[in-house]
Amino acid sequence: MKTKQQTALILEGGAMRGLYSAGVLDVLMKNKIGFDVVYGVSAGALFGLNYKSRQIGRVLRYNLKYANNKNYMGLYSLITTGNIMNKDFCFKKLVYEL
C-alpha cells in the first residue's frame, strides 16, 4: 500500500530575507502551489502564517502601513512588551480592530 508523501516548506528568518520570501510566497499562492506543512524561524514563521491562511500581499501591505508605528515592532515594543514585535498589536489589534 502506497502512502502519500508529504511536502514541507521551510522558511528562514531575517527581516530582509523574510520580505524576499514573502514575495515568493505570494507567487506560490497566486499559482495555487501548496505544501502539507510550513515551518519557519522568526520572520519566516510570521510570514508562513500568511501563506497558510492564503493572505496574498498581506506581508507587504502591513509592513508598509505600520513600519513607522511604534506599537508594531522595534525598540518601543521591546521595552514595553519584552519582544521586538508586539504580538498583541500584530495578532489581535491589527486582526480584530484595525
What is the DSSP pairing of strand 37-40 with strand 8-11?
A: parallel
13 and 46 assigned to the same domain: yes
Q: What is the pLDDT of residues 16-54, one digit of tens each?
A: 888 899 999 999 999 999 999 999 998 899 899 899 999
pTM, full prediction? 0.78
For the chain, the domain total comes to 2
What's the domain range around 3? 1-65
User: Angle, to 10 degrees, between the axis of helix 15-30 and the axis of helix 58-66?
Assistant: 140
Residue 58 sits in the same domain as residue 79:
no
33 and 8 belong to one structural domain:
yes
Sign of CA dihedral 78, 17, 38, 31: positive
Q: 19 and 39 share a domain? A: yes
C-alpha cell at 12: 528562514
pLDDT in tens, 8-18: 999 999 888 88
E-only strand ranges, 1-98: 8-11, 37-40
- DSSP secondary structure string, 13-32? --HHHHHHHHHHHHHHHHTT
5 and 29 part of one domain? yes
* Predicted confidence (pLDDT) at residue 97 exceeds the cutoff of 90: no
